[in-house]
Structure 1
């Protein structure tokens, strides 16, 4: 059982850094529930 099992996640990615879908793909098997995932541009 991992540390994220049963947790709810909000993923905020950056256009020039790590995008939201990439974080979502990495955390998909963690047992956490991904409630929201987005990629934004912070200028």
Structure 2
């Protein structure tokens, strides 16, 4: 799981910053970037 999260990045999806993982040209949003920031404090 940690290896997968390490590959994640913040991307804009429909005007919202989302933490997401990309694979073979597909983007898989996981959660809003601001929520991730809040939870990781």
Q: TM-score of the superposition, structure 2-length normalised?
A: 0.26
Determine which structure has more spread, i.e. the larger CA radius of gyration. 1
More strand by proportion, 1 or 2?
2
Structure with more contact order per residue of length (Cα contacts < 8 Å, sep ≥ 6):
1
Q: TM-score of the superposition, structure 1-length normalised?
A: 0.26
